[in-house]
Amino acid sequence: MGQQKLRNMEEFAAVSGISRPTLSKYFNDPDSVRRSTRQRIEAALTKYDYRPNVYAVNQNRRRTRNIGVVVPNLADPFFSEIGREVELACIAAGYSPILLSSHGKPSQERANLDSLRALKPAGVLLAAFGKASDRDAIERFNEDVPVVAFDANIEGACEAFVGTDNFQSVDLIVEYLCRSGAPPCFFEMKTPSNPNANKRRQAYLEAMERHGHAPHIHQVPGEGWDFEEVGMTEGGRLISSGAFETNTVLCSNDRLAIGMLSAAYGLGVKVGHGADCTMRIAGQDDHPFSRYTCPPLTTIAQDYAAIANQAASTLFRILDTETRLAEREETLFEGKLVMRASA
Amino acid sequence: MGQQKLRNMEEFAAVSGISRPTLSKYFNDPDSVRRSTRQRIEAALTKYDYRPNVYAVNQNRRRTRNIGVVVPNLADPFFSEIGREVELACIAAGYSPILLSSHGKPSQERANLDSLRALKPAGVLLAAFGKASDRDAIERFNEDVPVVAFDANIEGACEAFVGTDNFQSVDLIVEYLCRSGAPPCFFEMKTPSNPNANKRRQAYLEAMERHGHAPHIHQVPGEGWDFEEVGMTEGGRLISSGAFETNTVLCSNDRLAIGMLSAAYGLGVKVGHGADCTMRIAGQDDHPFSRYTCPPLTTIAQDYAAIANQAASTLFRILDTETRLAEREETLFEGKLVMRASA
DNA sequence: TTAAATAATTAACGCGCGTAAATTTTAAGT
DNA sequence: ACTTAAAATTTACGCGCGTTAATTATTTAA
């Protein structure tokens, strides 16, 4: 058993009988030393419990092994899940993820990039706000530290983007809704900052045209991040005023749908595809709570894990080669239809 | 405008005309230098945009100004909200919070404390698992770094605990339920790792006795963190089998209640206090999603902000005085009844 | 104005580790 | 056994900043 705490690598070198430069090599990359030495070091490690000083290490390395992960709002389970997936991918690759939430405020997104700059991360995985983001700040940041965007595309900015194919997934659910009942109206917030929202509206228009139906888009006021609240109040208003042209509503995202379902319930409107139901509501994202709504929400599932892993591995590729991508890459994953009771 | 990037404090000293030790003092505590020098420094700062190297700073300081914040699961909006409050309190006090989630796994809690050790934080704010936590590890950690527990009490461990008064809040909702209808049955998981769950059960028993009713506790199997799932499957089973002795159920927490509400809906059981309702369901915590359930969930709200601020300020007090508390402190905040439609 | 108190400067060391160059040891191949 | 390539060791410097002691400058009080 190792006793007194070892204060530095020097002392660990003394007790382990291995020179400090060799130890330094080992901690930077265990495979860079001969197997026999590696074993001796690891044996000593179990015996003496020494760990290099993080701050001293990072001061001297040209690049740290930190990776910044920035998401718009950790209070949204969608982002906490995808953030988690990204974290896991970083850890698996031997990096230390630093997860930062922008708490729904674009100004915080800038602040987060600023904080990250001080931490000299090797790279950054960024789920940005979109229009509300400070595009210049992101581009400037990307000049110093490679940034891979995920979930929200910042056209042209960042080294790469990984997200969901909104056109494919909207088409998928529109087709399902048309086939199984009335063609859907589209429900969204008037000024969506998220770029996916705009893609989805566009995709809805195209899909409806393709299927030969007239599109009906309902945009409601509402700022900020309280989607459920907007879905409930504004969605409820639309329902009770009979504003929807058909009995089917496709919401721009699940959180709006969750609020709208709550409103429908309060209004005594039965939602679902059963004979006794008067309207259908569908969402997009497969939010973690969507399976527990009343009724459970039919939606399009994004492939969280695939997006997270692809974004991470793209960044690792940049870091490993130490060269920026020859050209910007975009990877889109397909959404999957999740049929539940609401539509 | 300052041009070429300043590489270190030396260079900033040169261009700003202020000696490096004075700059060092300033960055450690702006108030430690004369007002006139402070103004000169700040003028130079706006001009030259220099920031001390985080790693070099932290290597040399005996204590960093980092504060570790550990919560059991960021995917749970309850913890992401209270974690956010704690973060804000740290920032306001000039510390840098480092938020870590244990992702529902007690082993990760240990791992998080381990990671934190490497970051040499000034203090730690810990929302632990409870029984599943590694009590020894926490106590050992607390020897090196002051830890203040919040949300979940680890009896005797840590410098202080800040949480909700479960006895007061359970009594409050039990009284409300009894007064407004049938006395409640109690619904929980069989092996709750969270210490609040045990307190709540105990509080339920006492409250029922105080109000002269026979208690009915229903414990269901289920592991892990998927409370909604357990609430839905097991809660649904109990409802459909008519296992509840009264028409009113008090759930150990909101997430169980959310699942149970979903199950009730699926079973066609109308929940609420209306004339056409057959059962009432209540929860505890005022989960962010509870206002959007069908029907909206009657529950007990914890005072997130008060708990977070009290926990943080207790820690700051320890850090400022550089002395551990003479004796362990416990602060409990009262819960508030949130009456919605479900009970 | 002067003495005393306060603040800033200069000079220098140390923190723990990365890293490079020169040297010695070890392992592999003949 | 001997040659060679590979790996480890020794020695030494530098990173950017905290910090201290001795000195000088500035402010405040008298």
| DSSP structure string for A82-98 | HHHHHHHHHHHTT-EEE
Check if the beta carbon of residue B165 is closer than 8 Å to that of residue B203.
no
Interface check B99 vs A, CB under 8 A: yes
Please give the nucleotide, over all strands, whose C1' is closest to the CA of residue B63. D18
Q: End-to-end alpha-carbon separation of chain A, Å? A: 63
Q: Mean pLDDT over residues B59-79, rounded?
A: 91
Cα angle B40, B43, B49 (rounded to 5 degrees) comes to: 125
Q: Is residue A286 part of a domain?
A: yes
Least Cα separation, residue A177 to chain B (angstroms):
22
Asked if B259 and A58 come within 8 Å (Cβ–Cβ), the reply is no
Residue B69, classed as helix, strand or coil, is: strand
Q: Is residue B3 part of a domain?
A: no
Residue B227, classed as helix, strand or coil, is: helix
Quote the DSSP letter at residue A285: B
A142-160: b (≥16 Cβ within 10 Å) or e: beebbbbbbbbbbeebbbb
Tokens 């300020």: give the residue.
B313
Same domain assignment for residues B225 and B281: yes
The pair of three-digit structure tokens given for residue B102, joined into one six-digit string: 């244990």
Please give the nucleotide, over all strands, whose C1' is closest to the CA of residue B32. C7
Cα separation of A240 and A97, whole Å? 47
Query: Which residues contact residue A97 at a Cβ distance below 8 angstroms, ignoring those fewer than 6 apart?
Result: A66, A67, A68, A69, A86, A87, A90, A91
Q: Which nucleotides of D are covered by protein (CB under 7 A)?
A: 7-12, 14-21, 27
Please tell me the total number of residues recorded for chain A in this structure.
Answer: 343
Residues of chain B with C-beta less than 8 angstroms from the C-beta of A277:
none
Cα separation of A200 and B116, whole Å? 42
Q: Is residue B293 part of a domain?
A: yes
CB contacts < 8 A, A to B, total 95
Same domain assignment for residues B107 and B158: yes
Residue B318, classed as helix, strand or coil, is: helix
Asked if B55 and A59 come within 8 Å (Cβ–Cβ), the reply is yes
Same domain assignment for residues B236 and B274: yes
Q: Is residue B2 part of a domain?
A: no
Q: Which nucleotides of C are covered by protein (CB under 7 A)?
A: 7-12, 14-21, 27
Same domain assignment for residues A201 and A129: no
Same domain assignment for residues B257 and B318: no
Cα separation of B214 and B270, whole Å? 25
Same domain assignment for residues B245 and B140: no
- pTM for the model: 0.92
Q: Is residue A58 part of a domain?
A: no
Q: In what order do the strands lie in the sheet with B123-126?
A: B96-101, B66-71, B123-126, B147-150, B160-164, B329-333
Same domain assignment for residues B127 and B222: no
Residues of chain B with C-beta less than 8 angstroms from the C-beta of A81:
75
What CATH number is attached to the domain comprising A100?
Answer: 3.40.50.2300
Give the pLDDT of residue B60. Answer: 82
pLDDT digits (tens, 9 = 90+) for A40-99: 999 999 999 999 999 999 998 878 999 999 999 999 989 999 999 999 999 999 999 999
Distance of C1' in D14 from CA in B8, Å: 13
Count of alpha carbons within 13 angstroms of residue B96, beta-carbon side: 17
Quote the DSSP letter at residue A294: S
Asked if B289 and A259 come within 8 Å (Cβ–Cβ), the reply is no
Same domain assignment for residues A182 and A291: yes
Q: How far, in Å, are A99, B64, B72, B229 from residue B101 at the CA level?
A: 10, 21, 6, 21
Closest by Cα among B137, B130, B124, B132 to B153:
B130
Check if the beta carbon of residue B284 is closer than 8 Å to that of residue B173.
yes
Residue B281, classed as helix, strand or coil, is: strand
pLDDT for B205 beyond 70: yes
Closest by Cα among B293, B190, B229, B227 to B79:
B227
**pLDDT band, very low/low/confident/very high, at B3 (cuts 50, 70, 90):** low
Q: How far, in Å, are A190, B88, B130 from residue B94 at the CA level?
A: 38, 10, 30
Same domain assignment for residues B286 and B174: yes
Tokens 């839905």: give the residue.
B232
C-beta atoms surrounding A137 within 10 Å: 15
Query: Which residues contact residue B92 at a Cβ distance below 8 angstroms, ignoring those fewer than 6 apart?
Result: none
Same domain assignment for residues B275 and B198: yes
Number of domains in chain A: 3
Count of alpha carbons within 13 angstroms of residue A134, beta-carbon side: 17
Same domain assignment for residues B14 and B74: no
Distance of C1' in C13 from CA in A69, Å: 39
Domain of B22, in residue numbers: 9-52
Count of alpha carbons within 13 angstroms of residue A266, beta-carbon side: 21
Asked if B259 and A118 come within 8 Å (Cβ–Cβ), the reply is no
Tens-digit pLDDT profile for chain A (343 aa)?
446 689 999 999 999 999 999 999 999 999 999 999 999 999 999 999 999 999 999 998 878 999 999 999 999 989 999 999 999 999 999 999 999 999 999 999 999 999 999 999 999 999 999 989 999 999 999 999 999 999 999 998 999 999 999 999 999 999 999 999 999 999 999 988 789 999 999 999 999 999 999 999 999 998 888 999 999 999 999 999 999 999 999 999 999 999 999 999 999 999 999 899 999 999 999 999 999 999 999 999 999 999 999 999 999 999 988 889 999 999 999 999 999 999 9
Q: Is residue B285 part of a domain?
A: yes
Q: Is residue A259 part of a domain?
A: yes
Asked if B55 and A51 come within 8 Å (Cβ–Cβ), the reply is no
Cα separation of B250 and A331, whole Å? 47
Please give the nucleotide, over all strands, whose C1' is closest to the CA of residue B22. C8
Per-residue flag: B24 CB under 7 A of strand D: yes
Residue A25, classed as helix, strand or coil, is: helix
pLDDT for B142 beyond 90: yes
Distance of C1' in D11 from CA in A31, Å: 25
Residues of chain B with C-beta less than 8 angstroms from the C-beta of A265:
294-295
Asked if A292 and B262 come within 8 Å (Cβ–Cβ), the reply is yes
Same domain assignment for residues A107 and A86: yes
Give the pLDDT of residue B4. Answer: 67
Asked if A293 and B262 come within 8 Å (Cβ–Cβ), the reply is yes
